Chains A and B, each alone.
Chain A
């Protein structure tokens, strides 16, 4: 193919090796709907894209719209293309690719696809072929390293002493790259990646490629790099990014940089995957699904699950704004160990919020910036939250309940621009290298302030920002805040992570407001309500509800630390009428009720409503709570991070529902609709929603307060909305004749036995009625469709050694399960169930099932 690149003399022709599925496309008898132009990086070759070539003409792709032509090049000096004995720079390589597509006379829409430094080259091609460009797909790449320090791995590779040896003389660079597979690459795949680079001569391009990384500003390739990274801002085509966050070189920071340049991009971060993301995960299937949606189909899919237009919109700040001169109490913190309270009136709170907002804005926190808040619930957090809402900044709330590792993954995934935390959180940020400009939530003690500011690399403290903001506001400059757009992102919350890594869940201002409205309408929470905020997600809604809010003295990272006294004291401080609490907290409240003084008992008896949110609460425990608060209506809403609340039931309702298959969680809350997608015998979901009583299936939710989307998890988001108009909850259950919802567990926990689909909850409840059993989980082992049912029980007292249950216990458990029609194959005892950190109540049945499978196959079982 003729070369027009500057590095080659005029008239030069170059030999290219490339993969092309043209004959596969022809065999389908259909015209291709477009072309994928795939560009590998260093040191791989077109082999990297083999899954795209295969999927491009699969029956699913054909059914979705037609075949795609896929052309994957080996860049010159790379793969099996010509060794040119030239040093080809970025400009040459982009031009080479254009020469290549000219020679092929590519017509029709083209999607550029790139990986590693091939991403930059493919984007360079894209900026120069705008008329043909239909979309861009990027995988672990970067366009601009400016402002970033070079990752150590690359720094070493670039070092003159190492560079030639590492990249060319030896196969070290190749082997290091191939070693990045998560899980490890199969031997034949490693061999294939190595095949074109067997000799020193064949590896020259590998070394030159590394040497051409324009890290320094005076590098010859720098102008081209700058041009490409600026020009992509105006591409105006759909963009898709698949990312392996474990990549030691093209880390999340480059993803964040790319997102500022291509803000329209859909992103999926594959937690646990690394640099060779196309080896670690299936990217081919979702790539074509995305292309079908974004390139082939012109109409935007309607997302009726959210019913945004159905309701009016009142800003989260409306109550605060209307009470600027209200001197009555807005927020109260109960200080530790009975040291009294800290109180702000509505006027003080609204002033602090505005001051802090102004201060944050001075620092650069503006609309659309992400701010991670690592501050315990209370006045400080409340002020921060509403200041961010004021600015249109997006709050990222990764709570300590995720555990340190889980929190770290969550923060890195959300990629905040700013990170505001208490000292412990700042220490974590430094230790785990969390992204974001760091802000201390409190002033440091004067003696250590300078040292700690340096140690934690802190740009400011919240009190400083508030003071700055006050000055700015008093000076009269920039006191006006533009209200954020209703449909702009407002918050990223996280799932508990009991079913895999915690997922970020994005709420817009409108959806947060709808959550507030659902609570308000369902529980008749009028302005002037006085509420005890013992459950974090709802606590942030207090000022938006116009409710006086008190935060009890407790360690919020451990709900079980809420005592009856602390709860009563908090209630007394504001004459509380409403209590929000988590089940774990209420367990401890009941356990410590004996310590209450008559005055404290009185404070609780004045409470009119108690909400226990998070996980279902056993009836006996609710009865005990009722004794403590005899005048309170006890409600247990059902919901999830993606939709909160969904249904509600009160204590009389629970008594009336009685025992059934699952946990009765009542009827939908104001604005919410629930339907069931039936489960087939093999465990798959039939996408035909029904309200027919007694049909078991996946619980579908529609409400104005359903999440906007999952954060940087495009595939997960697509799956959750694959039944048009609904959020698929991943929970399984059924509706009864009175329209009540019964939750039977997680979809992932259903047992597919040869006589049909079974959900575990009813059997678990039956087994838990056996006297020696403290907690039970029923799981399936073996292949789907023919699983064997196994009960795993925790006993009182706990066993020391996990294994087969002794015969009398096994017999009793079997008989109990039989009462709900389940035949158990085996009964195992375990010392302690694996549970999630946040609630300490969600049993990880997936882990248990694998453990039971090993146990019952006679293998070394280890820990679940």
Chain B
């Protein structure tokens, strides 16, 4: 860092895999790190506990900071729309307001490529514009709205960038890896269309690095949304097989046509919501339309612009990541 003064960064959402990695990396790079999370957790960093929608909490969290990296979000394939609105839209709005009020300079909004994914294949495409009306599923729609709100606040005095890591995974990941492993173990994970769809993913260390670069390269990154991936598209069937192999479980051996899964996903999703509201089920539905679309359509991206803006390339390859995952499961 060229600044003589140590920069102070608030990181939200550090209970998750990526948030933790970002905080650690910032700390390693010499930033002063403060975290904000809902639950009380043991943390090596200065920590504020509470909700991002609470003005008192956000005011305390941003006090004395220079920048925010905002990862906190409700991430789920299902759930009531209102919950997504509260956490993802209202929460982001609240944090922006607090940061602006406190006079912070930079704001990194961690987003998702799904904000610009409208159900069809993405084949080597650039980031695209977030669209809450077209995005699929409550998570993507709410993140799209939040990203719009955040980028609208960008100005030379208050710089905002949106970093969209695509399908982040790594050791200790409860989102993708655990779900794949759990379902595979239960024999509840079909491949769609033979798992042919080419999907680019992001190893967690690469995603964390790119987010930190977003902050460091704010001169170039502000005002835009950048998709971040490993730049190594793979057929989804191979990815799942790779994750299963790392975790030592049997890879899925059966395949379902994509159109069938998409249709069935819609029905199951509705049934699960109804059942959930009656207290009959407590877990996530085995298939949703959003998930079916994610697993049966290609989504991989043109990374040239992102890598130029961030002056960054992924350090951990897909196969190296899978090896690290296997190491983790062997422990």
A804, B195: Cβ atoms closer than 8 Å:
yes
Q: Is the CB of A804 within 8 A of B196?
A: yes
Could you tell me the distance between the alpha carbons of A858 and B119 in the complex, rounded to whole angstroms? Answer: 12
Residues of chain B from 15 to 71 with CB closer than 8 A to chain A in the complex: none
Number of chain B residues whose Cβ lies closer than 8 Å to a Cβ of chain A? 29
A754 to B307, CA, bound (A): 10
Within the complex, the shortest CB–CB distance from B192 to chain A, in Å, comes to: 7
Choose from B193, B232, B307 the contact partner of A825 (Cβ within 8 Å). B232
Q: Is B258 an interface residue (CB 8 A)?
A: yes
Q: How large is the interface on A (under 10, 10 to 19, 20 to 34, 35 or more residues)?
A: 20 to 34
With an 8 A cutoff between CB atoms, is B161 at the interface?
no
A858 touches B196 (CB 8 A): yes
Q: Are B238 and A807 in contact (CB under 8 A)?
A: yes
Whether the Cβ atoms of B124 and A786 lie closer than 8 Å is: yes
**B125 A783 Cβ-Cβ under 8 A:** yes
Residue of B nearest to A807 (CB): B241
The answer to whether A853 touches B193 (Cβ under 8 A) is: no
The one of B121, B238, B251 in contact with A804, judged by C-beta atoms closer than 8 angstroms, is B238
- Decide yes or no whether B166 CB sits under 8 A from chain A: no
B13 within 8 Å of A (CB atoms): no
Could you say which residues of chain A place their CB within 8 Å of the CB of B233?
788, 825-826
Across-interface contacts of A856 in B (CB, < 8 A): 196-198, 235, 298
B265: shortest Cβ distance to chain A, in Å? 14
Instruction: Tell me if A788 and B124 are in contact (CB < 8 A).
Output: yes
CA distance in complex: A38, B105 (Å): 62
* Contact yes or no, A804 B123, CB < 8 A: no
Taken together as a complex, chains A and B put the C-alpha atoms of A859 and B241 apart, in Å, by 21
User: B111 interface residue, CB < 8 Å from A?
Assistant: no
Determine if B170 is an interface residue (Cβ-Cβ < 8 Å). Answer: no
CB closest chain-B residue, reference A784: B124
Is B237 at the interface (CB under 8 A from chain A)? yes
B124 — nearest CB in chain A belongs to which residue? A782
* CB pair A857 B194 closer than 8 Å: no
Indicate whether A823 reaches chain B with its CB closer than 8 angstroms: yes
Given A781-B123, A804-B194, A825-B198, check contact A858 B303 (CB 8 Å).
no
- Set of chain B residues within 8 Å of A823, measured between Cβ atoms: 232
Complex formed: what's the CA distance from A782 to B233 in Å?
11
Q: Cβ of A859: which chain B residues have Cβ within 8 Å of it? A: 121
Do A826 and B235 have beta carbons less than 8 Å apart?
yes
Tell yes or no: A721 within 8 A of B by CB.
no
A803 touches B (CB below 8 Å): yes
| Count of inter-chain pairs, beta carbons less than 8 A | 74
Interface check A596, CB cutoff 8 A: no
Contact B237 A858 (CB under 8 A): no
- Determine if A786 and B304 form an interchain contact, defined as CB atoms under 8 angstroms apart: yes
B92 within 8 A of A: no
Please report the C-alpha to C-alpha distance between residue A853 and residue B232 in the assembled complex, in whole angstroms.
16
Q: Which residue on chain A has the smallest CB distance to residue B238? A: A810
Which residues from 772 to 814 on chain A have a C-beta closer than 8 Å to any C-beta of chain B? Answer: 781-783, 785-788, 803-804, 807, 810
Q: How far is the CA of A810 from the CA of B297 in the complex (A)?
A: 21
Q: Is A855 engaged at the interface, CB distance under 8 Å to the other chain? A: yes
Q: Is the CB of B298 within 8 A of A783?
A: no
Which chain A residues lie closer than 8 Å to B241 at the CB level? 807
Interface residues in B229-260 by Cβ distance below 8 A to A read 231-235, 237-238, 241, 251, 258
A141 to B251, CA, bound (A): 64
* Interface status of B300 (Cβ within 8 A of chain A): yes
Give Cα A858 to B193, complex, Å: 7
Asked if B296 is an interface residue, CB under 8 A from chain A, the answer is yes
A803 to B193, CA, bound (A): 10
Per-residue interface assignment for chain B, residues 302 to 327, with 1 indicating a CB less than 8 Å from any chain A CB and 0 otherwise: 11100100000000000000000000
> Could you mark each residue 184-211 of chain B with 1 if its beta carbon is under 8 Å from any beta carbon of chain A, else 0?
0000000011111110000000000000
CA–CA, A826 and B200, complex, Å: 12
**A63 CA / B65 CA spacing, docked (Å):** 56
A31 to B307, CA, bound (A): 47
Contact A858:B123 (CB < 8 A) given known A782-B300, A825-B233? no
Q: Report the Cα distance A807→B252, complex, angstroms.
A: 12
Query: Which A residues touch B297, using CB under 8 A?
Result: 857-858
CB pair A853 B234 closer than 8 Å = no
Measured in the bound complex, the distance between the Cα atoms of B194 and A856 in whole Å is 10
The answer to whether A858 and B234 touch (CB under 8 A), given A786-B302, A786-B303, is no
Instruction: Report B-chain residues with C-beta under 8 Å of the C-beta of A804.
Output: 194-196, 235, 237-238
Instruction: Sample 8 A-B pairs with CB under 8 A, ordered by A number.
Output: A754-B302, A804-B195, A804-B235, A826-B234, A856-B235, A856-B298, A857-B298, A858-B296
Binding site for A on B (CB under 8 A): 121, 123-125, 192-198, 231-235, 237-238, 241, 251, 258, 296-298, 300, 302-304, 307
> 15 more A-B contacts (CB under 8 A) besides A804-B194, A810-B238, A825-B300?
A754-B302, A781-B124, A781-B198, A783-B125, A786-B302, A788-B300, A804-B237, A823-B232, A825-B233, A826-B233, A856-B198, A857-B197, A858-B197, A858-B258, A858-B297
